[in-house]
Amino acid sequence: MTSAYAQLEARFHKASVIGDSLSILHWDMATMMPDGSAESRAEQFAVLRGLHHQILAAPDLPDLLDAAGTEPLDAWERANLAEMRRDWIHTAALPADLVEAVTRAEAACEMVWREARAAADFAQVLPSLKALLALVREVGAVKAERLGVGLYDALLDQYEPGGRAAAIDPVFDHLEGFLPGFLAEVLEAQSYNPPPAPPPGPFPVECQRTLGLDMMTRLGFDFNRGRLDVSHHPFCGGHADDTRITTRYDETDFVSALMGVIHETGHALYEFGLPGGRWRHQPVGRARGMVMHESQSLLFEMQVARSRAFATFAAPAIRAAFDSDGPAWDAEALYRRGIKVEPGFIRVDADEVTYPAHVIIRYRLERALIEGRMELEDLPAAWNEGYGRLLGITPPNDRLGCLQDIHWYSGSWGYFPTYTLGAMTAAQVFDAARRAIPGMTDALSRGEVRPLLDWLRAEIHGKASSLSTTDLMVAATGRPLDPAVFAAHLRGRYLP
């Protein structure tokens, strides 16, 4: 007689393998697939997702979850069972007609949004967005009851398991108190000492690609289990045994692709470091959530690659890649251009100092909308007010304002906070690593990343989802997420 828990492991294993197949097909769609095959690929997704869903929606699954809870399990098995239940809540606990309605509303709203954004006309997408938000709140209500949490937390939990607004609020309050004054100081200091001009370019794609591959190798990317390709929107795809990152190249600016490659490499290193063997296809063996995943990409992009130490190592390699010379290629010039601060309207173009403001504005707004404390009609005005207050700028239109991000219009409510929580987590984890590893900064200035990577594997990657995000942080850094560490990082880097 197979235990309920063993039956669950077998089913989730199969679901995970189907998920891996879907990930490879997604990667192919973004990198290789000819345009005319989009419809047939969509049908492949629908069929494979349906087969995946059938496993989680099996009528006897809730009983198996309950029965497994009464069986003797060790700590990883218990954590695995908890993740299985979360999976079930987020994918199979909803009424089928609600799932269908929200899927349709997402597709419809996203389509209208593309036109509304081009026209900079929020009113155009308002009816579709209202319909979608109403359904998202319905979904949230079902999940909230199952999870025993509030409406916003139920949505946040989809992306950040265990994430709770009550924990985010004090962290973001601290940042919001700190950032406007800090930004003014940084801008003033920078005005006395502006970053040097970049080298003129152009920067041939082939040289950029070779440089990117070199940096990936240096950072520990395993090309026996992964690739680098080109796509319109850079991403880290595939799965832990076959992790495929992408970038896009701009021949007038090599930094953008390079930093993008390093960012996605951070995501990939997390995937490579997850436990193999028995846990490879179990929910507990997955990365902990979007906050921790983003922290690993930002740790390599923001903490490592934009540090003065790393610039010391990277500058000669970069100069050699483009076979160029001159003071614009010096390490200090590279470093100072990499930490230039400039308030702007667009989140994805923002620097490390102003980025959190973009996120805090979205977080406050999406919570108020989800919790019914605000009407969608008031979104553009409230958006612009936030930008004025936190960044001192006012978007001239909604294309540069509340229409810029796809998230809300495609149904991703509760996602935004993970970006800045990830950045703060990265700062705190990097700070702990530096304290734990003697000579780490010197090592980075020689391009030696291995001691840091080994520490991350032991403290973060290898633990997968066996602990909550907070417990992972406490184990690795000695305390829960502490906004003071991020603030100290910013002060250390941006003030003279």
Positions annotated as catalytic residues are 264
The two beta strands, 236-239 and 242-247, are antiparallel
Within 227-256, which residues bind a second copy (CB under 8 A)? Answer: 227, 239, 241-242
Residue 48 or 376 with smaller CB distance to a second copy: 48
| # of chain residues touching a second copy (CB under 8 A) | 31
Of 161, 270, 177, the closest CA to residue 486 belongs to 177
Q: Is the backbone peptide bond immediately before 95 cis, with ω within 30 degrees of 0?
A: no
Residue 33 or 255 with smaller CB distance to a second copy: 33
How near is the Cβ of 9 to a second copy at its closest, in Å?
15
Rounded to whole angstroms, the Cα distance separating 195 from 5 reads: 59
Residue 10 or 96 with smaller CB distance to a second copy: 10
375 annotated binding-site participant: no
Rounded to whole angstroms, the Cα distance separating 394 from 28 reads: 40
Q: Does 225 help bind a second copy (rule: CB under 8 A)?
A: yes
239 annotated binding-site participant: no
Point out which span in 13-21, 132-140, 441-449, 459-467 binds a second copy (CB under 8 A). Answer: 13-21
Rounded to whole angstroms, the Cα distance separating 495 from 182 reads: 9
Q: Does 6 help bind a second copy (rule: CB under 8 A)?
A: no
294 annotated binding-site participant: yes
- Which residues have a Cβ under 8 Å from the Cβ of 50 and sit 6 or more positions away? none
CA dihedral 214, 218, 222, 223 (to 10 degrees): 10
Of 260, 234, 223, the closest CA to residue 27 belongs to 234
Answer for which of 66, 100, 222, 442 binds a second copy (CB under 8 A) is: 222
How near is the Cβ of 103 to a second copy at its closest, in Å?
18
How near is the Cβ of 29 to a second copy at its closest, in Å?
10
Rounded to whole angstroms, the Cα distance separating 78 from 83 reads: 9
Answer for which of 6, 10, 47, 458 binds a second copy (CB under 8 A) is: 47
| Residue-wise burial string across 198-211, b where 16 or more C-beta atoms lie within 10 A, e elsewhere | bbeeebeeebbbeb
x-or-dash pattern for a second copy, window 16-45, by CB under 8 A?
-xx-xx--xx--x---xxxxxx-xxx-xx-
x-or-dash pattern for a second copy, window 51-90, by CB under 8 A?
x---------------------------------------
Rg over CA atoms, the chain = 23
> How open is the CA angle 80-85-91, to the nearest 5 degrees?
120
The footprint of a second copy (CB under 8 A) covers 14, 17-18, 20-21, 24-25, 28, 32-37, 39-41, 43-44, 47-48, 51, 222-227, 239, 241-242
Binding residues for Zn(2+): 263, 267, 294
Binding residues: 263, 267, 294
